[in-house]
Amino acid sequence: TTGHLASVNRLSKQLVYRTLLPFALAAI
């Protein structure tokens, strides 16, 4: 269903931000 896809997309985005943010902050 579309709702399930949206929740999965949101979760994946959160995961990406959590993993990439520390690297971005370290690069600054």
pTM for the model = 0.55
Give me the number of domains the chain comprises.
1
pLDDT at position 1 is 80
What would the two tokens of residue 5 be? Answer: 């896809």
pLDDT at position 4 is 94
Q: What is the pLDDT along the chain (28 residues), one digit of tens a residue?
A: 889 999 999 999 999 999 999 998 998 7
DSSP per-residue codes, 1-28: -HHHHHHHHHHHHHHHHHHHHHHHHHH-
Structural domain span for residue 23? 1-28
